[in-house]
Amino acid sequence: MTPTIAVTGLSRRYRGHTALDNISLTVQPGTVTGLLGRNGAGKTTLLRILTGLEFPTAGEVKVFGATPAENDAVLRRMVFVREEQAYPDFRVGHAIRVASWFYPNWSAELAGQLLADFELPLNRRIKRLSRGMRSAVGIVIGLAARAELTLFDEPYAGLDAVARQLFYDRLLADYVEHPRTIVLSTHLIDEVADLLEHVVMLDHGRVALDAPAEEIRGTAMTVSGPASAVDEFVAGGRVWHEQRLASRASVVMPGPFDAAAQARARALHLSLEPLSLQQLLVHASGGAEQEKVCA
């Protein structure tokens, strides 16, 4: 199957700054992919290139097997919801109507439901909306478009936790009914971790991690207990991070932790606690930085 997104050797350089440094990745059709990374890691630049808003300095980008830039046939099959999306001086209802003309799979029914869910006033001018409500307009358009490729770039500025949960729930519910390819760029990793099938993490313009979400979970553990027992357990293995307090130690170790390793930990009275995706990425990006320092 043709990947929905195929990026090969992509670089984007601005004067004196490299936003994307020779990255390659693919996104398979029908998956929910998390595009994760710190601010300035290159997430937005990548999404802008995928949607033809920006051009690569080097490398190749294919969406649905074709180059997206200035390619209307490709661009109509995707929707891009940007952080702090700017709108013309429209009322909410007008913006929704204009969007409905543009997207071939638009669902007026879903749009109506979402407008009610987020309590958006149709007659209010968008520039008079609060930041959170403006974000909600973007979310309504992004979901109701039901585009084959849906790209969300930190779509929830100003949305509170309840509204964000509403977004995740509606996204999942509609994705299940109408499967499509979704890329969700975010730094609220723990909130979205369970929704993701695949994870791509960017760090300083490079791909730090590209793996199925299920593989990433439990790949590293915090091992803690009496320092002597921790030392015995570690015994020359790789350690990402270490903390000691008096006679206790706590280390973060990459896996795999098979049944034998778990039994050994139990025998030593050690507690094993898996790292959350968020903690894991903190260590992964720290590791990438160290590698760069060494290089």
Instruction: Supply angle C-alpha 282, 284, 285, rounded to 5.
Output: 70
Is residue 258 involved in binding another protein (CB under 8 A)? no
Is residue 232 involved in binding another protein (CB under 8 A)? no
Q: What beta strand segments (E) does the chain contain? A: 5-14, 17-27, 32-36, 58-63, 78-81, 149-153, 181-186, 198-203, 206-212, 220-226, 241-245, 248-254, 271-274
Q: How far apart are CA 57 and CA 219, in angstroms?
A: 35
For another protein, give the closer residue by CB, 31 or 45.
31
For another protein, give the closer residue by CB, 69 or 172.
172
Other C-beta atoms lying within 10 Å of the C-beta of residue 96: 22
Is residue 274 involved in binding another protein (CB under 8 A)? yes
Give, to the nearest 10 degrees, the angle between helix 92-102 and helix 131-144. 20
The correct pick among 2, 24, 130, 276 for binding another protein (CB under 8 A) is 276
User: Which residues, numbered 190-209, are part of the site for another protein (CB under 8 A)?
Assistant: 194-197
Binding mask 137-176 vs another protein (x if CB under 8 A, - otherwise)?
-------------------------------xx--xx-xx
Instruction: Identify residue 239 by its one-letter amino acid code.
Output: V
Structure tokens at 240: 């990402």
CB of 30 to another protein, least distance (A): 9
Q: How far apart are CA 218 and CA 189, in angstroms?
A: 15
CB of 180 to another protein, least distance (A): 12
User: Which residues, numbered 20-59, are part of the site for another protein (CB under 8 A)?
Assistant: 31-32
The correct pick among 88, 177, 256, 293 for binding another protein (CB under 8 A) is 177
* Contact residues: another protein, CB under 8 A: 31-32, 168-169, 172-173, 175-177, 194-197, 213-214, 217-218, 266-267, 269, 273-274, 276
